[in-house]
Amino acid sequence: MAKGLSILVTGGAGYLGSVLAPALLAAGHKVSVLDNFMFQQNSLAPLCADPNFDVVNGDARQEQVLAPLVKKADVVIPLAALVGAPLCNKDPIGATSTNRDAIGTLAKMMSPAQRMIVPITNSGYGVGEPGKECTEESPLRPVSLYGRNKVEAEQIALGRENAISLRLATVFGMAPRMRIDLLVNDFVHRAVTDRFVVLFEAHFKRNYIHVRDVARAFLHAIDNFEAMKGGPYNVGLSDANLSKAELCERIKAQLPNFIYLEAPVGEDPDKRDYIVSNAKIEGTGYKPAYSLDDGIRELIKGYRMIRNSVYGNV
Protein backbone atom coordinates (compact mmCIF):
# COMPACT_ATOMS: atom_id res chain seq x y z
CA MET A 1 0.00 0.00 0.00
CA ALA A 2 1.30 3.47 -0.97
CA LYS A 3 2.14 5.49 2.13
CA GLY A 4 3.04 9.07 2.93
CA LEU A 5 2.33 10.67 -0.47
CA SER A 6 1.58 14.38 -0.82
CA ILE A 7 -1.85 14.62 -2.42
CA LEU A 8 -3.54 17.76 -3.76
CA VAL A 9 -7.34 17.58 -3.96
CA THR A 10 -9.00 20.49 -5.78
CA GLY A 11 -12.65 20.90 -4.80
CA GLY A 12 -11.84 18.79 -1.76
CA ALA A 13 -14.53 20.35 0.47
CA GLY A 14 -17.37 19.15 -1.77
CA TYR A 15 -19.58 16.06 -1.63
CA LEU A 16 -16.87 13.58 -2.72
CA GLY A 17 -13.93 15.47 -1.23
CA SER A 18 -15.44 15.71 2.23
CA VAL A 19 -15.40 11.88 2.36
CA LEU A 20 -12.16 11.37 0.38
CA ALA A 21 -9.92 13.83 2.27
CA PRO A 22 -10.33 12.13 5.69
CA ALA A 23 -9.91 8.70 4.02
CA LEU A 24 -6.59 9.81 2.45
CA LEU A 25 -5.35 11.13 5.81
CA ALA A 26 -6.39 7.88 7.53
CA ALA A 27 -4.32 5.99 4.92
CA GLY A 28 -1.22 7.95 6.00
CA HIS A 29 -1.00 10.57 3.24
CA LYS A 30 -0.47 14.34 3.43
CA VAL A 31 -3.49 16.15 2.00
CA SER A 32 -3.79 19.70 0.68
CA VAL A 33 -7.26 20.86 -0.34
CA LEU A 34 -7.95 23.78 -2.67
CA ASP A 35 -11.60 24.87 -2.66
CA ASN A 36 -13.51 28.12 -3.21
CA PHE A 37 -16.15 27.12 -0.60
CA MET A 38 -18.94 28.27 -2.93
CA PHE A 39 -21.51 26.50 -0.74
CA GLN A 40 -20.15 28.15 2.44
CA GLN A 41 -19.56 24.68 3.85
CA ASN A 42 -17.37 23.75 6.81
CA SER A 43 -17.21 20.09 5.81
CA LEU A 44 -13.48 19.76 6.55
CA ALA A 45 -13.55 21.39 10.01
CA PRO A 46 -12.71 18.12 11.85
CA LEU A 47 -9.51 17.74 9.76
CA CYS A 48 -7.95 21.07 10.75
CA ALA A 49 -6.32 19.56 13.86
CA ASP A 50 -4.39 17.05 11.71
CA PRO A 51 -0.81 18.23 11.00
CA ASN A 52 -0.88 16.32 7.68
CA PHE A 53 -3.82 18.41 6.44
CA ASP A 54 -3.70 21.85 4.82
CA VAL A 55 -6.38 23.91 3.09
CA VAL A 56 -6.33 26.87 0.69
CA ASN A 57 -9.37 29.01 -0.09
CA GLY A 58 -9.03 29.75 -3.80
CA ASP A 59 -10.08 29.05 -7.37
CA ALA A 60 -8.87 25.85 -9.08
CA ARG A 61 -8.81 27.69 -12.44
CA GLN A 62 -6.12 30.20 -11.41
CA GLU A 63 -2.56 29.25 -12.33
CA GLN A 64 -0.95 31.42 -9.65
CA VAL A 65 -3.04 29.67 -6.99
CA LEU A 66 -2.41 26.18 -8.39
CA ALA A 67 1.33 26.44 -9.14
CA PRO A 68 2.78 26.30 -5.59
CA LEU A 69 0.33 23.55 -4.59
CA VAL A 70 1.00 21.39 -7.66
CA LYS A 71 4.75 21.74 -7.17
CA LYS A 72 4.58 19.90 -3.82
CA ALA A 73 2.17 17.13 -4.93
CA ASP A 74 2.96 13.51 -5.80
CA VAL A 75 -0.67 12.94 -6.80
CA VAL A 76 -3.32 15.43 -7.97
CA ILE A 77 -7.04 14.58 -7.71
CA PRO A 78 -9.04 17.33 -9.46
CA LEU A 79 -12.52 17.11 -7.93
CA ALA A 80 -13.26 20.84 -8.45
CA ALA A 81 -16.26 20.92 -10.79
CA LEU A 82 -19.72 22.27 -11.37
CA VAL A 83 -21.48 18.93 -11.07
CA GLY A 84 -24.64 17.86 -12.87
CA ALA A 85 -26.51 18.93 -15.99
CA PRO A 86 -28.79 21.58 -14.36
CA LEU A 87 -25.95 23.48 -12.64
CA CYS A 88 -23.82 23.43 -15.81
CA ASN A 89 -26.71 24.72 -17.94
CA LYS A 90 -27.16 27.54 -15.44
CA ASP A 91 -23.49 28.63 -15.77
CA PRO A 92 -22.07 27.16 -19.00
CA ILE A 93 -18.94 29.36 -18.99
CA GLY A 94 -18.14 28.49 -15.38
CA ALA A 95 -18.83 24.83 -16.14
CA THR A 96 -16.48 24.57 -19.12
CA SER A 97 -13.70 26.59 -17.49
CA THR A 98 -13.84 24.47 -14.31
CA ASN A 99 -14.77 21.02 -15.61
CA ARG A 100 -12.53 20.95 -18.69
CA ASP A 101 -10.12 23.88 -18.94
CA ALA A 102 -8.82 23.60 -15.36
CA ILE A 103 -7.79 19.99 -16.14
CA GLY A 104 -5.83 21.31 -19.12
CA THR A 105 -4.10 23.86 -16.89
CA LEU A 106 -3.12 21.13 -14.43
CA ALA A 107 -1.92 18.79 -17.20
CA LYS A 108 0.41 21.52 -18.55
CA MET A 109 1.70 22.35 -15.08
CA MET A 110 2.43 18.82 -13.86
CA SER A 111 5.73 17.06 -14.48
CA PRO A 112 5.65 13.66 -16.25
CA ALA A 113 6.42 11.95 -12.92
CA GLN A 114 3.40 13.43 -11.13
CA ARG A 115 0.24 11.34 -11.06
CA MET A 116 -3.31 12.46 -11.82
CA ILE A 117 -6.47 10.55 -10.90
CA VAL A 118 -9.44 12.29 -12.44
CA PRO A 119 -13.14 11.66 -11.70
CA ILE A 120 -15.26 11.48 -14.85
CA THR A 121 -18.96 10.72 -15.04
CA ASN A 122 -20.26 7.60 -16.73
CA SER A 123 -23.02 9.88 -18.07
CA GLY A 124 -20.60 10.21 -21.00
CA TYR A 125 -22.23 7.03 -22.33
CA GLY A 126 -25.43 9.04 -22.90
CA VAL A 127 -27.91 6.56 -24.34
CA GLY A 128 -26.66 2.99 -24.47
CA GLU A 129 -27.83 0.17 -26.73
CA PRO A 130 -30.78 -1.79 -25.23
CA GLY A 131 -29.65 -4.79 -23.17
CA LYS A 132 -25.97 -4.11 -23.88
CA GLU A 133 -23.59 -3.09 -21.09
CA CYS A 134 -21.37 -0.05 -21.60
CA THR A 135 -17.71 -0.96 -21.17
CA GLU A 136 -14.71 1.36 -21.28
CA GLU A 137 -14.54 0.56 -25.02
CA SER A 138 -18.13 1.72 -25.69
CA PRO A 139 -18.64 4.90 -27.72
CA LEU A 140 -19.03 8.09 -25.66
CA ARG A 141 -22.18 10.00 -26.60
CA PRO A 142 -22.79 12.55 -23.84
CA VAL A 143 -26.21 14.24 -23.91
CA SER A 144 -25.40 17.26 -21.71
CA LEU A 145 -22.79 20.03 -21.45
CA TYR A 146 -21.67 18.42 -18.18
CA GLY A 147 -21.13 15.07 -19.91
CA ARG A 148 -19.34 16.64 -22.90
CA ASN A 149 -16.95 18.67 -20.74
CA LYS A 150 -16.13 15.63 -18.61
CA VAL A 151 -15.42 13.49 -21.69
CA GLU A 152 -13.08 16.23 -23.00
CA ALA A 153 -11.40 16.47 -19.58
CA GLU A 154 -10.76 12.72 -19.64
CA GLN A 155 -9.09 13.00 -23.06
CA ILE A 156 -6.81 15.75 -21.71
CA ALA A 157 -5.92 13.79 -18.56
CA LEU A 158 -5.25 10.47 -20.30
CA GLY A 159 -3.27 12.33 -22.98
CA ARG A 160 -0.50 12.82 -20.41
CA GLU A 161 -0.13 9.06 -19.78
CA ASN A 162 0.59 9.21 -16.03
CA ALA A 163 -3.12 9.37 -15.26
CA ILE A 164 -6.14 7.26 -14.39
CA SER A 165 -9.76 8.16 -15.12
CA LEU A 166 -12.54 6.90 -12.86
CA ARG A 167 -15.91 7.00 -14.67
CA LEU A 168 -18.22 7.28 -11.70
CA ALA A 169 -21.77 5.96 -11.58
CA THR A 170 -24.46 8.15 -9.95
CA VAL A 171 -23.19 8.61 -6.40
CA PHE A 172 -25.35 8.25 -3.28
CA GLY A 173 -24.98 8.31 0.52
CA MET A 174 -24.47 10.77 3.36
CA ALA A 175 -21.45 13.09 3.35
CA PRO A 176 -20.27 16.06 5.45
CA ARG A 177 -21.01 18.36 2.44
CA MET A 178 -24.33 16.80 1.54
CA ARG A 179 -26.04 16.85 -1.87
CA ILE A 180 -29.75 16.13 -1.98
CA ASP A 181 -30.08 16.62 -5.76
CA LEU A 182 -28.36 13.34 -6.78
CA LEU A 183 -30.92 10.77 -7.94
CA VAL A 184 -30.89 8.22 -5.07
CA ASN A 185 -30.38 10.96 -2.46
CA ASP A 186 -33.23 12.97 -4.01
CA PHE A 187 -35.70 10.09 -4.23
CA VAL A 188 -35.04 8.96 -0.64
CA HIS A 189 -35.41 12.58 0.52
CA ARG A 190 -38.78 12.79 -1.25
CA ALA A 191 -39.82 9.44 0.21
CA VAL A 192 -38.99 10.63 3.74
CA THR A 193 -40.37 14.18 3.50
CA ASP A 194 -43.18 14.05 0.89
CA ARG A 195 -43.85 10.28 0.77
CA PHE A 196 -44.30 10.44 -3.02
CA VAL A 197 -42.48 11.15 -6.28
CA VAL A 198 -43.64 11.59 -9.88
CA LEU A 199 -41.35 9.83 -12.38
CA PHE A 200 -40.61 11.03 -15.90
CA GLU A 201 -39.36 8.28 -18.25
CA ALA A 202 -39.35 5.79 -15.37
CA HIS A 203 -37.79 3.05 -17.53
CA PHE A 204 -34.50 4.98 -18.02
CA LYS A 205 -31.68 3.00 -16.41
CA ARG A 206 -28.40 4.00 -14.85
CA ASN A 207 -25.76 2.67 -12.45
CA TYR A 208 -25.11 3.73 -8.83
CA ILE A 209 -22.22 3.81 -6.31
CA HIS A 210 -21.84 4.81 -2.63
CA VAL A 211 -19.78 7.94 -1.93
CA ARG A 212 -17.54 5.95 0.45
CA ASP A 213 -16.90 3.39 -2.28
CA VAL A 214 -15.84 6.25 -4.55
CA ALA A 215 -13.28 7.28 -1.91
CA ARG A 216 -12.17 3.62 -1.74
CA ALA A 217 -11.78 3.58 -5.55
CA PHE A 218 -9.41 6.57 -5.40
CA LEU A 219 -7.36 4.86 -2.67
CA HIS A 220 -7.30 1.67 -4.78
CA ALA A 221 -6.08 3.66 -7.80
CA ILE A 222 -3.29 5.26 -5.71
CA ASP A 223 -2.18 1.86 -4.38
CA ASN A 224 -2.32 0.18 -7.82
CA PHE A 225 -1.29 3.15 -9.94
CA GLU A 226 1.44 1.51 -12.03
CA ALA A 227 -0.81 -1.40 -13.01
CA MET A 228 -3.84 0.80 -13.75
CA LYS A 229 -2.38 3.97 -15.30
CA GLY A 230 -3.24 5.14 -18.78
CA GLY A 231 -6.87 4.11 -18.93
CA PRO A 232 -10.45 4.73 -17.84
CA TYR A 233 -12.34 2.57 -15.32
CA ASN A 234 -16.09 2.40 -14.70
CA VAL A 235 -16.83 2.58 -10.96
CA GLY A 236 -20.29 1.38 -9.94
CA LEU A 237 -22.30 -1.37 -8.26
CA SER A 238 -22.58 -4.27 -10.68
CA ASP A 239 -25.87 -5.35 -9.06
CA ALA A 240 -27.37 -1.86 -9.34
CA ASN A 241 -28.05 -1.17 -13.02
CA LEU A 242 -31.59 -0.05 -12.24
CA SER A 243 -34.39 1.96 -13.81
CA LYS A 244 -35.95 4.81 -11.83
CA ALA A 245 -39.00 2.64 -11.17
CA GLU A 246 -36.80 -0.21 -9.89
CA LEU A 247 -34.95 2.25 -7.63
CA CYS A 248 -38.29 3.39 -6.20
CA GLU A 249 -39.19 -0.25 -5.47
CA ARG A 250 -35.98 -0.63 -3.46
CA ILE A 251 -36.82 2.53 -1.48
CA LYS A 252 -40.41 1.35 -0.96
CA ALA A 253 -39.09 -1.89 0.57
CA GLN A 254 -37.74 0.22 3.45
CA LEU A 255 -40.43 2.93 3.44
CA PRO A 256 -43.70 1.11 2.66
CA ASN A 257 -45.75 4.35 2.70
CA PHE A 258 -43.74 5.72 -0.25
CA ILE A 259 -45.81 6.12 -3.44
CA TYR A 260 -44.36 6.68 -6.90
CA LEU A 261 -46.36 7.53 -10.00
CA GLU A 262 -45.32 7.53 -13.64
CA ALA A 263 -46.19 10.78 -15.38
CA PRO A 264 -48.20 10.23 -18.59
CA VAL A 265 -46.76 13.42 -20.10
CA GLY A 266 -43.48 15.35 -19.76
CA GLU A 267 -39.90 14.23 -20.02
CA ASP A 268 -36.71 14.08 -17.99
CA PRO A 269 -34.30 16.88 -18.99
CA ASP A 270 -31.42 14.45 -18.25
CA LYS A 271 -31.75 11.90 -21.06
CA ARG A 272 -29.23 9.33 -19.82
CA ASP A 273 -30.26 5.69 -20.27
CA TYR A 274 -27.64 2.93 -20.08
CA ILE A 275 -26.35 -0.06 -18.11
CA VAL A 276 -22.68 -0.30 -17.21
CA SER A 277 -20.08 -3.05 -16.77
CA ASN A 278 -17.65 -2.54 -13.88
CA ALA A 279 -15.67 -5.70 -14.69
CA LYS A 280 -12.46 -3.85 -15.61
CA ILE A 281 -11.86 -2.25 -12.19
CA GLU A 282 -13.16 -5.38 -10.42
CA GLY A 283 -10.44 -7.28 -12.34
CA THR A 284 -7.81 -5.15 -10.54
CA GLY A 285 -9.11 -6.30 -7.15
CA TYR A 286 -11.53 -3.48 -6.34
CA LYS A 287 -14.93 -4.43 -4.92
CA PRO A 288 -17.56 -2.01 -3.53
CA ALA A 289 -18.30 -2.42 0.20
CA TYR A 290 -21.68 -0.62 0.41
CA SER A 291 -24.89 -1.81 -1.25
CA LEU A 292 -27.72 0.33 -2.55
CA ASP A 293 -29.89 -0.90 0.33
CA ASP A 294 -27.16 0.13 2.82
CA GLY A 295 -27.22 3.61 1.28
CA ILE A 296 -31.03 3.91 1.42
CA ARG A 297 -30.97 2.87 5.10
CA GLU A 298 -28.26 5.46 5.81
CA LEU A 299 -30.05 8.24 3.94
CA ILE A 300 -33.30 7.63 5.83
CA LYS A 301 -31.38 8.29 9.07
CA GLY A 302 -29.66 11.32 7.54
CA TYR A 303 -32.93 12.91 6.49
CA ARG A 304 -34.14 12.84 10.08
CA MET A 305 -31.48 15.57 10.52
CA ILE A 306 -31.56 17.37 7.16
CA ARG A 307 -34.75 18.85 5.79
CA ASN A 308 -33.95 21.66 3.38
CA SER A 309 -32.69 22.13 -0.15
CA VAL A 310 -29.70 24.30 0.77
CA TYR A 311 -27.81 20.97 0.50
CA GLY A 312 -28.51 20.58 -3.22
CA ASN A 313 -26.28 21.88 -6.04
CA VAL A 314 -29.17 23.64 -7.78
The tens digit of pLDDT for each residue in 65-101 reads 999 999 999 999 999 999 988 899 999 999 999 999 9
pLDDT at position 49, please?
A: 98
Give 240's contacts (C-beta < 8 A, 6+ positions apart).
Answer: 169, 207, 208, 209, 291, 292
pLDDT at position 269, please?
A: 66
Q: What is the DSSP string of 197-247?
A: EEESSTT-EEEEEEHHHHHHHHHHHHHTHHHHTTSEEEES-TT-EEEHHHH
pLDDT at position 312, please?
A: 64
Q: What topology does CATH give the domain 6-240+269-311?
A: Rossmann fold (3.40.50)
pLDDT at position 161, please?
A: 84
- Where is average pLDDT lowest: 50-59, 79-88, 187-196, 265-274? 265-274
pTM over 0.85: yes
Query: Any bridge partners for residue 235, and if so which?
Result: 168
pLDDT at position 134, please?
A: 95
3-class DSSP state of 268: coil
Residue 218's pLDDT band (cuts 50, 70, 90): very high
Please report, to the nearest 10 degrees, the dihedral formed by the alpha carbons of residues 250, 251, 252, 254 taken in order.
100
165 φ, ψ (degrees, to nearest 5): -110, 130
Q: Are 314 and 86 in contact (CB under 8 A)?
A: yes
Residue (of 247, 241, 243, 235) closest to 288 by Cα position: 235
First-to-final CA distance of the chain = 38
* H-helix or E-strand spanning residue 34: strand 30-35
131 φ, ψ (degrees, to nearest 5): 75, 0
For 74, 132, 161, the CA distances from 212, given in Å and listed in that order, are: 23, 28, 27
